[in-house]
């Protein structure tokens, strides 16, 4: 019996390693699909950490890091990014066991990952003997060049290619200065997405998952609107540095309002009993269409005043 139990544990550890390495491999070798696949890397780490416990579950990310370095051939910014995704999955599982609110779970997980990410970037900067600003700038420039090559291979018209090439330096300048907001927003989104995806998996395997309540009733704190107003006001000032600071604030705020907007969308999907196929199509549309995405963010923002779900309002005859 003990041998069977040990065999099951070893099988789970090997499965967790294999699944995570497979997702990592797809992420680095498939240009477009790989970008989205990378978001799923924390999920197997979260699941097997919850199933196997801290010590046994911790074996998986350690082995995967070694495999990542072997596949990549060296430590790079991309590898640091993937390591942070492994940490995120592990930390999310740790926080799930603490049975905190969903706000604290996501904020603590994101804060931990961002803190270790900055530390990892500083260490990598020291190893490569390159300043952090130059490191980030070179990384952005490299990825812009890869994007241009991808557009060319997809058959984009020469006129559009030329227009993008001319604007490449300006795009790089802007991206480098909003990197902090993009990193924070991405971390919040990946934490939120993996926490939601883990729910049916953990409950289906009879593992603990906190009762976060009805998430389709969640709404951002009302005080956040003042942050949006302040960030918007910064964009009107003449200083370029202040404008970039305001733009960073808006990006992070809009990410939080997206969570509020998607909760409203889910609420009305449930209320109107939309079929699963239609919901999947509409969620995909939100993910792929920028205007629809902005509409969802707007719903989350204006819900502060309009209260679309009539939360806290009692119906009277």
Eight-state DSSP code of residue 130: -
d(CA 177, CA 136): 10
Q: Contact, 12 vs 51, CB < 8 A?
A: yes
| 123: its two tokens | 């260490």
The answer to whether residues 242 and 234 touch, using CB atoms and an 8 Å cutoff, is yes
C-beta of residue 92 within 8 angstroms of C-beta of residue 109: yes
Write down the mean pLDDT value for the chain.
Answer: 89
pLDDT higher than 70, residue 277: yes
- pTM confidence score: 0.90
Residue whose pair of structure tokens reads 């939080």 in the numeric block: 256
Residue 279 is predicted with a pLDDT of 93
Q: What is the spatial distance between Cα 265 and Cα 154, in angstroms, rounded to a whole number?
A: 34
Query: Helical H runs in the chain?
Result: 2-29, 31-37, 42-52, 54-72, 77-98, 102-128, 132-153, 158-166, 168-204, 224-234, 240-271, 276-288, 290-306
At 317 the pLDDT is 40
Domain boundaries, the chain: 1-129+181-209, 214-308
Average pLDDT over residues 21-49: 88
The string of pLDDT tens digits covering residues 121-155 is 888 788 878 888 888 888 888 888 877 777 777 77
Residue 300: per-residue pLDDT: 94
Contacts by 308-317 with C-beta closer than 8 Å and gap 24+? 308/264, 309/217, 309/264, 309/267, 311/217, 311/219
Residue 308: φ, ψ to 5°: -55, -35
Quote the pLDDT of residue 4: 52
DSSP letter assigned to residue 73: S
**Residue 314 burial (C-beta neighbours within 10 Å; 0-12, 13-18, 19+):** exposed
* Whole-angstrom distance, CA of residue 262 vs CA of residue 115: 28
When pLDDT is cut at 50, 70 and 90, the band that residue 204 belongs to is: very high
Q: Is the pLDDT confidence value at 168 over 90?
A: no
Task: Report how far residue 98's alpha carbon sits from residue 64's, in angstroms, rounded to the nearest whole number.
Answer: 26
**DSSP sequence for 131-158:** -HHHHHHHHHHHHHHHHHHHHHHTT--H
């Amino acid at each position: 019996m003990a041998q069977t139990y040990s065999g099951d544990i070893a099988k789970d550890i090997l499965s967790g390693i294999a699944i995570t390495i497979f997702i990592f491999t797809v992420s680095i070798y498939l240009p477009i699909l790989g970008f989205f696949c990378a978001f799923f890397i924390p999920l197997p780490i979260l699941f097997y950490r919850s199933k196997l416990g801290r010590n046994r579950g911790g074996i998986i990310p350690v082995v995967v890091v070694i495999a990542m370095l072997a596949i990549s051939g060296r430590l790079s910014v991309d590898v640091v990014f993937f390591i942070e995704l492994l940490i995120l999955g592990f930390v999310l599982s740790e926080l799930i066991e603490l049975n905190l609110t969903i706000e604290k779970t996501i904020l603590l997980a994101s804060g931990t990952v961002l803190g270790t990410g900055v530390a990892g970037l500083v260490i990598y900067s020291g190893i490569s003997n390159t300043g952090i600003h130059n490191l980030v700038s070179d990384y952005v420039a490299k990825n812009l060049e890869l994007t241009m090559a991808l557009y060319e291979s997809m058959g984009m018209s020469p006129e559009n290619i030329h227009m993008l090439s001319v604007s490449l330096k300006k795009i790089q300048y802007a991206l480098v200065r909003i990197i902090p907001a993009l990193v924070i927003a991405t971390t919040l989104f990946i934490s939120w997405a993996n926490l939601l995806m883990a729910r049916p998996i953990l409950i289906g395997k009879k593992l603990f998952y906190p009762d976060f309540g009805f998430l389709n009733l969640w709404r951002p704190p009302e005080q956040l609107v003042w942050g949006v107003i302040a960030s918007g006001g910064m964009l009107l000032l003449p200083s370029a540095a202040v404008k970039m600071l305001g733009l960073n604030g808006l990006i992070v705020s809009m990410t939080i309002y997206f969570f509020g907007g998607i909760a409203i969308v889910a609420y009305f999907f449930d209320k109107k009993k939309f079929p699963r196929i239609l919901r999947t199509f509409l969620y995909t549309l939100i993910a792929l269409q920028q205007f629809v995405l902005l509409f969802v963010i707007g719903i989350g923002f204006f819900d502060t005043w309009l209260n679309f779900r009539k939360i806290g309002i009692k119906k009277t005859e």
